Amino acid sequence: MFDPAATLFPPIAPSRHGMLAVDDLHTIYWEEVGNPDGIPVIFLHGGPGAGLSPQHRRFFDPEQYRVILFDQRGAGKSTPVGECRHNTTQLLIEDIERLRRMFGIEQWLVFGGSWGSTLALAYGEAHPERCLGFVLRGIFLCTQKEIDWFLDGAQWFHPEIHAEFIAPIPAAERGDLLQAYVKRIMSDDPAVHWPAVRAWSRFEGRRVFLLPQPDDTPSDALDLGIGRLESHYMANLGFFSDDQLVRNVSRIAHLPVVIVQGRYDVICPPVSAWRLHQAWTGSVLHLIPDAGHGAMEKGIAQALVTATEQFKRQRRFA
């Protein structure tokens, strides 16, 4: 039974986990949690490149949900870490379908935050018949304006963090920070790419929460996944056409959705959640007044659990 005071369900171990080769290059890690006869749900992590955390299992009642989680190509326990070849949104959608068929699931709830919300929308618009509904957090539509904000808008709220981020880049290259970082991050020389991926990962990580958090223990795998895959996807505009996710929302507008958005999210500002809400008739938007971007900020975590609890009872969101 869920204890509201605890925010999340208790920690739980996977009932099954394994590796799935999706092509000659990539092998993805997957895990299954909860009741094998429960409501199926697919969890889509952020980044791209951030990978899974044991905390991600805890948004769902394990007695009522069958939760499938996986590390996307190049992320977490999937191999090779940080690999950008054969790594596009369309291929990630194919991987989700592979998992659905492997588990024998006809339809599932789609749950994703940040980049996971991007992938959730792209998957839903490609396969609406496979979706029961959506729980989305920290909306990122992967438009040029959002990418420009991520890289340059930071200076308006975190000038010291932005100054640290641009410091290694020569002044002549600062007019296009994305390409300047891509050039370094994709370098074959470890002396060039490691400082760049660490700077990129730190630049994002220090802005996630509304209130400052203790620095996490550095992780080479996380830095490589975040730095390489985020810059790769941003440089390719997520492999979408212009504003594709909003333009095609009619394909999933008949399905229930709850959108959870931190009011002071400086990674994925609330305007994107608002645009999606306006385009999606019947969508439910919860703007959390005392939160930034982090899924584990109390107000956001509570809203996400409330959404999964409502869905298991009513198959809709109040």
- pLDDT tens sequence across 153-203: 999 999 999 999 999 999 999 999 999 999 999 999 999 999 999 999 999
| CA proximity to 165, closest of 211, 194, 196 | 196
Q: Look at residue 51 and tell me whether its pLDDT is greater than 80.
A: yes
| CA proximity to 142, closest of 112, 167, 163 | 112
Domain co-membership, 67 together with 173: no
Domain co-membership, 33 together with 111: yes
Domain co-membership, 123 together with 258: yes
* Domains held by the chain: number: 2
Give the model's confidence band at 219: pLDDT under 50 very low, under 70 low, under 90 confident, else very high.
confident
C-alpha to C-alpha distance for 43 and 54, rounded to whole angstroms: 12
CATH number, domain containing residue 253: 3.40.50.1820
DSSP string, 157-182: H-HHHHHHHHTTS-GGGGGGHHHHHH
Please check whether residue 304 is in contact with residue 170, taking contact to mean a CB–CB distance below 8 angstroms: no
Please check whether residue 267 is in contact with residue 310, taking contact to mean a CB–CB distance below 8 angstroms: no
Domain co-membership, 71 together with 169: no
- What per-residue confidence (pLDDT) applies to 131? 98
Domain co-membership, 149 together with 26: no
Domain co-membership, 25 together with 125: yes
C-alpha to C-alpha distance for 220 and 226, rounded to whole angstroms: 10
Give the model's confidence band at 1: pLDDT under 50 very low, under 70 low, under 90 confident, else very high.
very low
| CA proximity to 141, closest of 177, 89, 207 | 89
- pLDDT tens sequence across 253-305: 999 999 999 999 999 999 999 999 999 999 999 999 999 999 999 999 999 99
Radius of gyration of the chain (CA): 19
DSSP string, 48-112: TTT---GGGGGGS-TTTEEEEEEPPTTSTTSBSTT--TT--HHHHHHHHHHHHHHTT-S-EEEEE
Residue type, 314: Q
Residue 258, beta-bridge partner list: 135, 284
Domain co-membership, 100 together with 192: no
C-alpha to C-alpha distance for 98 and 85, rounded to whole angstroms: 19
Beta-carbon contacts of residue 250 (< 8 Å; ≥ 6 apart):
none
C-alpha to C-alpha distance for 108 and 45, rounded to whole angstroms: 16
Given 179, 214, 238, which residue is the final one in a domain?
A: 238
Domain co-membership, 130 together with 217: no
| CA proximity to 182, closest of 250, 233, 246 | 233
Active site residues: 114, 265, 293
Domain co-membership, 74 together with 217: no
Domain co-membership, 20 together with 111: yes
Please check whether residue 48 is in contact with residue 95, taking contact to mean a CB–CB distance below 8 angstroms: no
Give the model's confidence band at 316: pLDDT under 50 very low, under 70 low, under 90 confident, else very high.
confident
C-alpha to C-alpha distance for 32 and 282, rounded to whole angstroms: 31
Domain co-membership, 135 together with 153: no
- What per-residue confidence (pLDDT) applies to 7? 87
C-alpha to C-alpha distance for 310 and 62, rounded to whole angstroms: 15
Given 220, 238, 256, which residue is the final one in a domain?
A: 238
Mean pLDDT (the chain) is 95
- Enclosing domain of residue 175: 144-238
Residue 301, both tokens: 């975590």
Phi, psi (5° rounding) for residue 142? 60, 40
Given 238, 268, 295, which residue is the final one in a domain?
A: 238
